[in-house]
Amino acid sequence: MFISEAVKSLNLTEDDVRMTLVGVRDDWDNCQEISEEEFQLISQSVVASGLPPATGESTAPANTEIQPVADMPIEKQKTLLDNASQILGHQLVLSVQRRIEMVDAIDKLTNQVILNNRETNQQQLAAQIAQQDDATKSELMQAISTLQGLINTTVEVPKVDDSDFQNSIASVQKKLTR
């Protein structure tokens, strides 16, 4: 949306609209357009403040809650709402800002819980792997002991009597000469 359209729609001066963008956008002082999310937050702030819209129709009651927008980072929303609260001077914007801060805090806590659970799971997995390694080492040590026991044992090879050998050769020779 063009800044000029936002100015007309919100019944604010161009300077007021630009001042809400300070800290949210690097080009706040010379941009020609604002995003739909930025316009939505500024518009909600104007309605919540009770300022009359450009059309001259009555505004929503001053207790209208400002809803955070999904497609804008929380930090930028905080900055934009803080700027709007300074420009429009109403407490509801500050209330929403506190609400966004609480949601942000909950997100941070949730992430910390996830990280802690992940670390606990990794520690449990490491313990299970160590336990399996110990069992495998024990089995291998038993196999090595068994093999060492076999090395020290002698296997008896049946002895062939030389006389039997000589008799067998003689028998073959007799058959050949016949």
How does pLDDT run across 72-82, given as a tens digit for each residue?
888 888 888 87
Per-residue model confidence (pLDDT) at position 148: 75
Task: Return the pLDDT at 13.
Answer: 82
Between 145 and 165, whose confidence is greater? Answer: 145
pLDDT (mean) for 151-167: 66
Q: pLDDT by residue (tens digit) across 79-104?
A: 888 778 777 765 556 667 778 888 88
pLDDT digits 0-9 by tens, 13-69: 888 888 888 888 889 888 999 999 889 888 887 777 766 555 544 444 444 677 878
In this predicted model, what pLDDT tens digit does every residue of 102-158 receive, in sequence order?
888 999 999 999 999 999 999 999 999 999 988 988 888 888 888 777 776 666 666
165/39: higher pLDDT:
39
| Residue extents of the structural domains in the chain | 3-108
- What pLDDT is stored for residue 93 in this prediction? 62
Task: Give the model's pLDDT for residue 9.
Answer: 87
80 with 40: CB under 8 angstroms? Answer: no
